Amino acid sequence: MNPIPFILCLSFSTAFTLAAGNGVGDLIKKGDTLDGQLKTAAALAVYLEAEKLEPDNVEILQRLAKSYDESMVDTTSREEQRRLAELGMSYAKRAVAIDPKNAKAQLSMAITYGRLAPYLDSKTKIAYSKLVKEHAEKALAIDPSCDYSHHVLGAWNYELANLNPILKALVKLIYGGLPAASMEQAEAHFLKAVALAPQRVSHHIELGRTYAALKKKDLAREELNKGLALPSREKDDPSTKQRGRDALSNL
């Protein structure tokens, strides 16, 4: 599987509920400001300070998972990228263990499995793809309004529908049969993601790539150009836009 862009459905700019004192709340706000400025290393350091004060705070654990995974963009070393992905997963697992009914925690698990999968063997990648789907569906069941749960499921359908015959055989073995993945379902999920959050570059680009795979060239150009025209606000936006430009050139 290709890595899934790690953009959690977290409303960092809105108020959040914390049982902590002002110290933890102030640290989270500071980290969120740095995160919004794409200063990932600085935000990570602040969230780690907050974790020392409240190690079981799910809001902090989710942010740490996000920060570690987004830190992968800042290095070209595959060994370091894998280490960061594993750290992100460890924090996501802690968040889910503390609050399994938390949609953001479940989504965090789905995304971290997708982030780590490219660094593993084919059998483990396919096994992780099953977990990506399971956690994304749990997140969506808890919070149907989260655009990125739809994005993750769109990406899952896109990847599974385009596997080569050898990997499809492995999928059948691990899943106990071929899952009901299709480009049409990918399209439906990306359309929902766009409707919920039209400001996100990744939703438009991935919908455009899906349209391209479905031979809907006019719609593909429209969505790809929409995504490319949006300002880059998220850590993965530059690489996402490059995928968009590549898709446009291949139409």
What is the tens place of the pLDDT at every residue in 201-236?
A: 999 999 999 999 999 999 999 999 999 999 999 999
Confidence of residue 126 (pLDDT cuts 50, 70, 90): confident
156: Cα within 13 Å, side-chain hemisphere? 28
Taking all residues of the chain, what is their mean pLDDT, rounded to a whole number?
90
Region 158-164 average pLDDT: 90
51: Cα within 13 Å, side-chain hemisphere? 16
CA-based end-to-end distance of the chain? 23
> What pLDDT score does 132 carry?
96
Share of the chain above pLDDT 70, in %: 91
H helix intervals, the chain: 22-36, 40-53, 58-70, 78-98, 103-116, 122-142, 147-161, 165-175, 183-196, 201-213, 217-229, 237-249
> What pLDDT score does 38 carry?
94
Return the domain boundaries, the chain: 22-140
How far apart (Å, rounded) are the C-alpha atoms in residues 216 and 198?
20
Determine the topology of domain 22-140 in CATH: 1.25.40
Is pLDDT above 90 for 173? no
Is pLDDT above 50 for 19? no
Region 133-155 average pLDDT: 96
What is the tens place of the pLDDT at every residue in 53-77?
A: 999 999 999 999 999 999 999 999 9
What is the tens place of the pLDDT at every residue in 195-204?
A: 999 999 999 9
Is pLDDT above 70 for 4? no
> What pLDDT score does 11 carry?
41
